[in-house]
């Protein structure tokens, strides 16, 4: 379990009512923003302190890992911004009965503020440039001590129950599913041959023409070594949802993977360096990965890639892999 601080001055009502965090992937100038990158480190069961209008007003328990998702409809009047793709984390928020104002307790909090990426100035004022940042456990525990008993019990239960704190009625990643369905509908409305439409849509599932083209380059699962084609999926390096129609059918945009490894790759729990080294996300459950046949101890190389595959894998590392690129 980790602790996070989120500034929700402009989006408090939308995010707490909708049950999520959402951020762009990059700044408007396409530069990395550490406070967006931190979204990639959130894991189910993590605790989120919601700060709005100088007060901590809600406590959230993360219900999912981070995933790609368009800007939510409630952020604007025109509906979901399907072209503005950011990071989303599902969170179950509970409003605090008696919100606290950290600025009133800085004598206690100042010594506990982190030297880098602090959510507060020494005078207790929030930093508008921050969206999401990690809290040291001692600072989080001090804030919990200032909150009401119900908030403390919520976090205590999260620590004790772990996965049992997750809401069974929620479907993690629903926003991504809706986005992909929108893309399917857009393809169906295109003025192109029906055969091409079918090829583009079935490529979403790693089958059809796309799989045939990937098979010209790949012979087996890079992780498990399975080489029976009926047990393999053609997995997009640059995800189907992010690709244009040419990229969706480009054989060099694919790897043949078993279904469980395909899931890990598509959700960003694993990736690959250009030289073939396996990358494992710091938020991935090591025990689960081992059970799915992924070697997590020590260095593991899966072999060479074509130049085209390397290009697509760079996108995967940069925009899908669940590991922030933040200087500590």
The per-residue pLDDT for range 69-101, each reduced to its tens digit, is 998 888 875 445 656 899 999 999 999 999 999
pLDDT at 168: 55
Q: Could you tell me the pLDDT band of residue 326, with boundaries at 50, 70 and 90?
A: confident
| pLDDT of 112 strictly over 80 | yes
pLDDT at 18: 93
The DSSP code sequence of 250-285 is: -GGGEEEE-HHHHHHHHTTSEEE-TTSBEEE-TTS-
Mean pLDDT of the chain: 91
Q: Could you tell me the pLDDT band of residue 104, with boundaries at 50, 70 and 90?
A: very high
pLDDT at 165: 52
pLDDT at 55: 95
pLDDT at 164: 46
Q: Stretch 207-228: mean pLDDT, rounded?
A: 97
Least confident range of 2-11, 170-179, 237-246, 304-313: 170-179
pLDDT at 78: 43
For the domain spanning 3-172, the CATH number is 3.10.590.10
pLDDT at 242: 95
Query: Do 245 and 286 touch, CB atoms closer than 8 A?
Result: no
| pLDDT of 199 strictly over 90 | yes
Residue showing tokens 């790949």? 218
| CA–CA dist 249, 98 (Å, integer) | 55
| pLDDT of 39 strictly over 90 | yes
pLDDT at 10: 84
| CA–CA dist 50, 35 (Å, integer) | 14
The per-residue pLDDT for range 274-291, each reduced to its tens digit, is 999 999 999 999 999 999
Q: What is the dihedral of CA 41, 42, 48, 51, to 10 degrees?
A: 50
What percent of the chain clears pLDDT 70, i.e. is strictly above it?
A: 93
| pLDDT of 161 strictly over 80 | no
The DSSP code sequence of 113-145 is: S-SSS-SB-TTS-B-TT-SEEEE-HHHHHHHHH
What percent of the chain clears pLDDT 90, i.e. is strictly above it?
A: 78
| CA–CA dist 211, 234 (Å, integer) | 5
| pLDDT of 9 strictly over 90 | no
Element spanning 87, H or E: strand 81-100
pLDDT at 62: 96
Residues of the chain with CATH 3.10.590.10: 3-172
Quote the crossing angle between the two packed helices 194-203 and 208-215, to the nearest 10°.
70
Q: Stretch 40-53: mean pLDDT, rounded?
A: 95
| CA–CA dist 192, 189 (Å, integer) | 9
| CA–CA dist 49, 93 (Å, integer) | 9
């Amino acid at each position: 379990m980790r602790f996070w601080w989120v500034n929700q001055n402009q989006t408090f009502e939308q995010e707490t009512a909708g049950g999520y965090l959402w951020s762009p992937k990059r700044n408007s100038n396409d530069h990395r923003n550490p406070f967006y990158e931190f979204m990639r480190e959130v894991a189910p069961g993590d605790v989120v302190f919601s700060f709005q209008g100088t007060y901590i007003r809600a406590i959230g328990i993360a219900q999912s890992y981070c995933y790609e998702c368009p800007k939510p409809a409630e952020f604007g009047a025109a509906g979901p911004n399907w072209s503005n793709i950011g990071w989303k984390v599902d969170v179950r928020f509970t409003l605090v009965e008696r919100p606290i104002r950290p600025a009133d307790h800085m004598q206690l909090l100042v010594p506990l503020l982190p030297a880098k990426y602090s959510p507060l100035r020494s005078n207790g004022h929030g930093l508008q440039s921050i969206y999401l940042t990690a809290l040291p456990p001692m600072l989080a525990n001090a804030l919990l001590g200032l909150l009401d008993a119900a908030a403390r019990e919520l976090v205590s239960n999260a620590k004790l129950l772990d996965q049992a704190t997750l809401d069974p009625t929620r479907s993690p990643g629903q926003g991504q599913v809706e986005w992909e369905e929108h893309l399917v509908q857009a393809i169906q409305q295109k003025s192109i041959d029906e055969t091409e439409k079918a090829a583009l849509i079935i490529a979403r599932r790693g089958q059809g023409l796309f799989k045939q083209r990937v098979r010209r380059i790949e012979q087996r699962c890079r992780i498990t070594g399975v080489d029976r084609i009926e047990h393999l999926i053609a997995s997009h390096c640059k995800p189907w949802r992010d690709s244009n129609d040419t990229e969706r059918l480009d054989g060099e945009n694919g790897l043949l993977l078993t279904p469980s490894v395909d899931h890990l790759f598509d959700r960003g729990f694993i990736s690959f360096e250009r030289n073939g080294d396996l990358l494992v996300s710091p938020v991935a459950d090591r025990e689960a990965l081992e059970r799915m046949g992924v070697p997590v101890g020590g260095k593991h190389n899966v072999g060479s890639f074509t130049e085209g595959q390397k290009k697509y894998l760079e996108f995967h590392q940069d925009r899908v892999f669940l590991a922030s690129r933040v200087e500590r």
